[in-house]
Amino acid sequence: MTEPLLIEIGVEELPAIPLLKIINNIEKSWENILKEYHLSTHFTFVYTPRRLVLKHTNMPVKQEDTAVELFGPPLVAAIKEGKPTPAALGFARKCGVDFSELGRGEKNGKEVLYFKKEEKGKQTDSLLQEMLEKWIASMAFGKMMRWGSRSDEFIRPIRWLQVRMGESSVPVELYGVKSDTKTYVHRMVSYDAVEVPSISAYDTILKEGAVMLQPSEREAVILAAFDALESEHDIVIERDNALLAEVVAITENPKALLGTFDSSFLELPPEVIITSMKEHQRYFPVFEGGKIANKFVVVSNAYTENYSKVVAGNERVLKPRLADGLFFYKNDLKNGLSIDGLEKVQFIDGLGSLADKIVREKNIAMRLLGLYMEKVEATTEKSNATLEKLMDRAISLAKA
């Protein structure tokens, strides 16, 4: 007999990069736990920045019964003068039976005491607390945090928990949070918890609350929006798979928006503009006529009727980053690769300035040049001589 199972762990916004690094391991870990507990079932793992979700359509309500083989001491040590030894009696106690019920088997080429017993499977709902604790503990995000008065650590604070099996809510507690029948929708729709009357209603409630549960759906929505913007504005938006995965991971209701910046910043090398956009702001660069344009695309998680303020806010944030880049770029052009001024910048306490460091590196380089110059010259001469021999041989073979 099987029943649907829904597990939702609600958290504060998860950071994208640590999550994406272990996303496959999170899924694999639950798969391994199911095998460990002898629960044969298929499941789906999905996530948004505020929730980790496991969905089973056919979770067995009870573990499979398993046969357990127990091997005891060798017969030569188990029976003396026709009577069981203390070792044999201890093995019988371990098996929970009388010595007379033990059989004989073979292990490592020796005849030993043997017992095979059937272990009845437990009810699945009684195992979920232990299984979820193992699953959470297996999530090696790297840098973790503590919150409240608890000493437990996780990547972000857990704020709500749902464990639903069939029509019942299974009592589970993680990090002091007890499971119930409520969830949370998009922050800009409601800050209040929403009652989930049944597992079948879960997806609908999230959809009506502006939450796209499936990462694949969010990605498809973003790419479709890119296509629409390109067609409408005659532009090309750079597709970056790594950046796309990040914005999918940090949004629940993605909206692709086109922003602009002052064309004077196009004086910067394209690489500087693109780096400022992608690495600092998670913006997608835009190209016109094969060249970088004074435009960008931001994927917002806002849910509103008026996105103009969202665009203006992102334009305002990008401007000082590009202004800083332009300032340093012009300074570099003016000063070139001169080390003037580096004598005022400390390197490491006791090791002088950055200018001192450069002088030391120069001295080391000249020293190495002197040590290896003869070998370099000899290698060059021999390589050329070898080349001449090969050419002579090739000519001889051609004549033949």
> Coil, strand, or helix at residue 353?
strand
Rounded Cα–Cα distance for residues 122 and 62 (Å):
6
Q: Is the dihedral of CA 11, 16, 17, 22 positive or negative?
A: positive
Rounded Cα–Cα distance for residues 269 and 373 (Å):
38
Rounded Cα–Cα distance for residues 121 and 116 (Å):
16
The whole-model pTM stands at 0.77
Q: Which residues of 219-234 are buried (b: 16+ CB within 10 A; e: fewer)?
A: bebbeebbeebeeeee
Tens digit of pLDDT per residue, the chain (400 long)? 899 999 999 999 999 999 999 999 999 999 999 999 999 999 999 999 999 999 999 999 999 888 888 888 898 888 888 889 999 889 898 888 898 888 888 888 889 888 888 888 899 999 999 999 999 999 999 889 999 888 889 999 999 999 999 999 999 999 999 999 999 999 999 999 999 999 999 999 999 999 999 999 999 999 999 999 999 999 999 999 999 999 999 999 999 999 999 999 999 999 999 999 999 899 999 999 999 999 999 999 999 999 999 999 999 999 999 999 999 888 888 877 777 778 888 888 888 998 889 889 889 988 888 888 777 777 766 665 655 565 666 666 666 4
Token code pair at residue 9: 């762990």
